[in-house]
Amino acid sequence: MVGQGSVGKSSLVDRLIYNRYDPHKPKTEGINIQNWQIQVNDQPIRLNVWDFGGQEIMHATHQFFLTKRSLYLLVLDARVDERQNELEYWLKMIQSFGNDSPVIIVGNKTDQHPLDLDRRGLQNKYANIEEIIEISCATGNGVEQLQTIISREINKLEHVYDLLPLAWFEIKTCLEKMEQDYIPYSTYEHLCQEEEITDTLSQTTLIELLHQLGIVLNFRDDPRLEDTHVLNPEWVTNGVYKILNDNLLITQYRGMLDHTQLNRILDCSQYPRNKQLFIVDMMRKFELCFPLENNTNDRFLIPDLLPKEEPATGEWDDALAFQYHYNVLPGSIISRFIVRMHHLADKRTWWRSGIVLKHRDNRALIRSDREDKKIFIWISGPQATRRELLAMIRSQFDAIYQTIRGIVADEKVPLPDYPEIVVDYENLLDHEEMGEPFIIPPGLKAKVSVKQLLDGIEPEPDRQKRHYTYESGDITEIAKLLASRPVNINNQNTQENQNSMSSINQYGSGDNIAGDKVMHDKIGTQINNSNNLAQAATDIKQLLDQLSQDYPGNTDIVGAKAVEEIKRNPTVKQRLMNALKEAGATALEEAVDHPAIKIVVAGAKGLMDA
């Protein structure tokens, strides 16, 4: 159950499960999970019904739980319009974290006003909308029909009728009945061994399944979570929500969380002192907060609780300007950016929707406007180094976008003399690639130099690497072709390389690139320059594919794990560095078809800077 606050999600749960209605039901402060037994094809099926609090401050935590093995009910208040219901925002969030899971749009309170939607337009745009239905929790009208639709959609879900080993159900039942709110992963492994589930792959597959079903939360890959790897979802979420909804933390402390406040906010009987910082670590994991004072655990800042008012940030005349325009702009994008870039904050100048950064002699103002669905960037200081800071900023936004499927962020360049007129950055690159020196922007009856605009954003050599062409095609296309050939990652064949990269060391033997005669002789030089790109693309693609099997659906973890593996393998690391130097980041990203590649590239840039 997702949707804005006060649309009636909890009332709908009551109607569906218990056929009751309480007009004075309080709002959901955290998350409620209830069991609902239904009959589908004469078989009993138990649903876990997740009722999320709809307040905006809680939206960022939904990423903990929105999974693929789900049916989503997006509940709307029929009395208000699509914008007030944040209809497209929620559809995009479901698309991002729930993939193509089916959605039923439920218009509630239709006893007071009919639901007014462009139904056909919405279903054409979002193919996973299975039904749009009007109901009233107050009168019960339409609820029985909704129950029938839910049963129908559950019946259509994949894997509902899969046969699973009986031992797996024993483990599931044991974890559901467990009184503890958290156990170490080793305890889970012991439970598996008692049920004769002894191989690591089966244990991993089962815990991933239980995670997707919402039985437990499992983050065994994160060293910060130590012995608390298998968790009661409500214990985690309600702990986070108690912090995010604390009135004093919002009004008096302005988002600054001192670890001594945790005793006041969290009930010690439920959250012992030695586990309170774990809740904060969960918030850090999902970029909801960051530590101050040199990464100690004394104080943390929660960007979503910062004051809304923008402080004085200085003058930004004659600054380099850049913008992102979105189809949907979740508030979590700017808050996660603040978490990622707080170490560059200029005199801790930050607020709920923006931050001022300082790098060397340059300053940058980054401001989010959710109403206009835009993020604005201005960079002042020496012109020679502005692009460096902009590249750092863009890299962080790119990494965030990779974790939110369905978010479209168009890069825009404002005209220096006409800042209200913006041109599409990709369009400028296309003009340069086609040899067209000028562009006439919409709203301006004059030609503008493409090169002059692009030079302000990215150096020409970097753009040439990105869009370099020579007769038979783009360098990245050649790289993709070469990357599809078998390449031996370990030319030196050292024992260290074999051990550290065993998961991706199955490419066959021989380096077929140098002797490839299929390519035209005229592009021989380009092929040679593409060797490192092609080899790096092959290595990284194999690694990311392998890690994706180990950590399905978690792009952040896959990217981070890949960077760690690359650090430990000197051969792959050197190829990656050479590829970035010779072909550029964009060429490498385009040569590797995987959502985590931008994270790898960002990590590789960090290695190069180091």
pLDDT of 475-509, one tens digit each? 444 344 444 433 333 333 333 333 333 333 332 32
- Show contacts of 336-342: CB within 8 Å, 24+ apart: 336/287, 336/400, 337/366, 337/396, 337/397, 337/400, 338/290, 338/303, 339/287, 339/288, 339/289, 339/290, 339/303, 340/287, 340/396, 340/399, 340/400, 341/392, 341/393, 341/396, 342/290, 342/301
Rounded to 5°, the CA angle 109-114-117 comes to 110
Mean pLDDT of 440-467: 82
The structure tokens listed for 146 are 């909704």
pLDDT band at 553 (very low <50, low <70, confident <90, very high): low
Average pLDDT over residues 286-307: 85
CA distances from 213 to 3, 208, 216, 278, 288 (A): 20, 9, 8, 23, 24
**Hey, what amino acid is at 400?**
I
Mapped onto helix, strand or coil, the DSSP state of residue 137 is coil
pLDDT in tens, 5-30: 889 999 999 999 999 999 988 877 77
Q: How confident is the model at residue 468 (pLDDT cuts 50, 70, 90)?
A: very low
HSE (side-chain half, CA atoms, 13 Å) at 174: 17
pLDDT at residue 251 greater than cutoff 70:
yes
Please tell me the distance from the alpha carbon of residue 447 to that of residue 425, in angstroms, as a whole number: 16
Domain boundaries 166-231, CATH class:
mainly alpha
Kindly tell me if the per-residue pLDDT of 439 is higher than 50. yes
pLDDT above 90 as % of the chain: 41
What pLDDT digit, counting tens, does each position of 350-390 carry?
999 999 999 999 999 999 998 899 999 999 999 889 999 99
pLDDT tens string 165-204: 999 999 999 998 888 888 888 899 999 999 999 998 899 8
What are the structural domain ranges in the chain?
9-156, 166-231, 233-305, 320-465, 473-609
CATH architecture of 320-465: 2-Layer Sandwich (3.30)
Q: In whole numbers, what is the pLDDT of the chain averaged over residues?
A: 82
pLDDT tier at 569, thresholds 50, 70, 90:
confident
Least Cα distance to 219 among 230, 227, 210 occurs for: 230
Task: Tell me the C-alpha distance between 467 and 461, whole Å.
Answer: 10
The whole-number pLDDT of residue 63 equals 65
302's tokens: 């929660």
- Which H or E run contains 421? strand 418-424
Which range has the worst mean pLDDT, 86-100, 349-363, 551-565?
551-565
Same fold for the pair 166-231 and 233-305: yes
CA 258 remoteness from chain centre: 28
Task: Please report the DSSP string for 548-606 in residue order.
Answer: HHHSTT-HHHHHHHHHHHHHH-HHHHHHHHHHHHHH-HHHHHHHS--TTHHHHHHHHHH
Return the bridge partners of 73, or none.
104
The per-residue pLDDT for 313 is: 95
* pLDDT recorded at residue 227: 56
> Which ranges of 71-184 does DSSP label H, i.e. alpha helix?
82-85, 87-98, 119-125, 143-156, 166-177
Please identify, in words, the CATH class of the domain defined by 9-156: alpha beta
Closest CA to 259 of 296, 303, 309: 296
Is the pLDDT at 521 greater than 70? The verdict is no
d(CA 585, CA 265): 45
**Average pLDDT of the segment spanning 312-326:** 94
Other beta carbons less than 10 A from residue 268's beta carbon: 12
Q: 233-305 sits in which CATH class? A: mainly alpha
**Given pLDDT bands bounded at 50, 70 and 90, which one contains residue 401?**
confident
Cα separation, 404 vs 96, whole angstroms: 5
